Amino acid sequence: MNVRRVITGQDADGHSVFVSDEEVPGDRYDLFPGWEFHPLWGTDAPAVVPSVPALDAGAAYFPGPGAVRFSFSTVPPQTTLPPGDLDIESAAAEVEAGMPGLLAHMEADDPGMHTTDTIDLEVILSGEVILELDGGVERILRPGDTVVQTGVRHRWRNAGTEPCVMAIFMLGAERLTG
């Protein structure tokens, strides 16, 4: 999928300007066959305006408290299989290099299930996807549907035949205990 990112800002005189206008290629990983990730914007510091914050290479995939991530994700049909000769260790290292910390949130004994300390605002742009929560409770989501995830355990699954594209805004949060 082609994704164009336009970023605005201000010049030295305080006038609004286009800071950048570029295509953002999708990241693909053998460990997640058919998935495509477009990291679009984020900051690990509290946001201020006007500014054009950019994440440093190697920033954590999931934002910490007060941090923000904005991305697109393409969820392939669940029939999409990894290459037969997949080297799991190499594939995991590739994911860790590109999306630091992602795999640490994934449950080894329940593939795809994960929990993060984030508020996730998600919009389905095309296709269909199933959002599964604890106990196998599910909702089918279609274009225009939105989800507000509040740090709960979940997984995404595409039971259809077409990829699903989602816009995802993640806000780092503090987890309350007790």
Q: Is residue 139 one of the residues assigned to a domain? A: yes
Q: Compute the distance between CA of residue 102 and CA of residue 95 in angstroms, rounded to an integer.
A: 8
Amino acid, single-letter form, for residue 28: R
Alpha carbon 168 to chain centroid, angstroms: 6
Q: Compute the distance between CA of residue 4 and CA of residue 25 in angstroms, rounded to an integer.
A: 9
Q: Is residue 10 one of the residues assigned to a domain? A: no
Q: Compute the distance between CA of residue 153 and CA of residue 150 in angstroms, rounded to an integer.
A: 9
Where is 97: in which H helix or E strand?
helix 88-98
Structural domain range at position 125: 25-172
Q: Is residue 29 one of the residues assigned to a domain? A: yes
Residue 46, classified by CB atoms within 10 Å of its CB into exposed (0-12), middle (13-18) or buried (19+), is: exposed
Q: Is residue 6 one of the residues assigned to a domain? A: no
pLDDT at residue 135 in the model: 95
Where is 58: in which H helix or E strand?
none
Q: Is residue 91 one of the residues assigned to a domain? A: yes
Under DSSP, is residue 165 helix (H, G, I), strand (E, B) or coil? Answer: strand
Q: Is residue 5 one of the residues assigned to a domain? A: no
Tens of pLDDT along the chain (178 residues)? Answer: 889 999 998 999 999 999 999 999 999 999 999 999 999 999 998 877 877 667 777 799 999 999 999 999 999 999 999 889 999 999 999 999 999 999 999 999 999 999 999 999 999 999 999 999 999 999 999 999 999 999 999 999 999 999 999 999 999 999 998 6
Q: Is residue 104 one of the residues assigned to a domain? A: yes
Please, are residues 27 and 38 in contact by the beta-carbon 8 Å criterion?
A: yes
pLDDT at residue 52 in the model: 67
Structure tokens, 126: 């095309």
CATH number of the domain enclosing 136: 2.60.120.10
Structure tokens, 105: 């949130």
- Please calculate the CA angle 110-130-64 and round it to the nearest 5 degrees: 65
Q: Is residue 86 one of the residues assigned to a domain? A: yes
DSSP conformation class of 55: P
In total, how many domains does the chain have? 1
Q: Compute the distance between CA of residue 59 and CA of residue 2 in angstroms, rounded to an integer.
A: 23
